[in-house]
């Protein structure tokens, strides 16, 4: 079991069946689906006659969205409904968010070297992120690979990164980036990894207490500092590019 975040935050564990208390729709869906026991894909099909079907209207789900299991897909649909119903500023449904902020299907996150060794290398972790109690579902926040990689480059002073510069660039406390880091990059479409908007019940999603609070979770696919982010579910360690950041 591993623990990681592109925000390089402290590890913790998720409750086995988190609920988004702000949505009755999600609660009903969770009861129908059956919580953490569901596996497999959600397949939607419609037969409308003998000829070729016309192309569907509106933005289509990306590979990352379409391969979420039924439980995660229900969370993703509920998050999309909240975005559209509450009209959050600069926030769009996950398919549009991925197309706009993650057009190459690649996502990255940072982890302190000590945490990487402790939670990934030593136990031989197969999946990234904070995991539920049974260890079968793990969650990691991720940013656009190109944007995060560029911010890391800009923070370099000589042959080492400057945690103050990196923290300012990401809108997060500098202490989260002190010491050697690891930069993880995953092609989540190629790796067939579920990607959705983060929600407040996700592990590591600490609610903002004020408008000035930047070390917290803000619903809608952007950090409190305004950087795009997504939640990856069961991101595979074996298919991830891992770079050392001195």
Most confident of 2-16, 48-62, 167-181: 167-181
Structure tokens at 149: 């990689």
Q: Can you tell me the distance from the alpha carbon of 173 to that of 215, in angstroms, rounded to the nearest whole number?
A: 7
pLDDT at residue 65 greater than cutoff 80: no
> What is the per-residue pLDDT across 187-201, written as a single tens digit (0 to 9) for each?
999 999 999 999 987
Inform me whether the pLDDT recorded for 218 exceeds 70: yes
pLDDT exceeds cutoff 50 at 31? no
Per-residue pLDDT tens over the stretch 97-138: 999 999 999 999 999 999 999 999 999 999 999 998 888 999
Rounded to the nearest angstrom, the gap between the alpha carbon of residue 191 and the centroid of all alpha carbons in its chain is 14
Average the pLDDT over 152-177 and give the result.
91
Q: How far apart are CA 80 and CA 82, in angstroms?
A: 5
Q: Residue 2: pLDDT above 80?
A: no
β-pairing, 241-245 vs 181-187, is antiparallel
Report the predicted TM-score, pTM, of the whole model to 2 decimal places. 0.70
Q: Mean pLDDT for the chain? A: 75
pLDDT tier at 80, thresholds 50, 70, 90: confident
């Amino acid at each position: 079991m591993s623990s990681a975040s592109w925000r390089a935050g402290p590890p913790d564990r998720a409750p086995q069946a988190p609920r988004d208390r702000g949505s009755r729709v999600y609660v009903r869906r969770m009861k129908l689906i059956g919580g953490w026991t569901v596996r497999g894909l959600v397949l939607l099909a419609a037969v409308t006659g003998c000829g070729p079907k016309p192309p569907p209207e509106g933005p289509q789900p990306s590979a990352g969205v379409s391969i979420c299991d039924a439980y995660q897909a229900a969370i993703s649909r509920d998050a999309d409904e909240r975005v559209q119903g509450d009209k959050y500023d600069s926030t769009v449904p996950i398919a549009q968010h991925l197309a706009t902020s993650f057009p190459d299907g690649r996502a990255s996150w940072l982890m302190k070297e000590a945490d990487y060794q402790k939670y990934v290398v030593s136990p031989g972790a197969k999946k990234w992120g904070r995991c539920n109690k049974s260890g079968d579902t793990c969650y990691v926040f991720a940013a656009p690979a190109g944007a995060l990689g560029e911010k890391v480059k800009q923070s370099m002073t000589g042959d080492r990164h400057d945690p103050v510069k990196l923290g300012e660039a990401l809108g997060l406390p500098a202490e989260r980036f002190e010491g050697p880091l690891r930069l993880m990059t995953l092609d989540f479409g190629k790796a067939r990894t579920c990607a959705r908007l983060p929600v407040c019940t996700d592990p590591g999603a600490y609610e903002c207490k004020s408008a000035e609070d930047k070390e917290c979770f803000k619903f809608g696919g952007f950090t409190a500092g305004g950087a795009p982010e997504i939640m990856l579910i069961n991101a595979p360690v074996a298919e991830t590019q891992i770079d050392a950041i001195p």
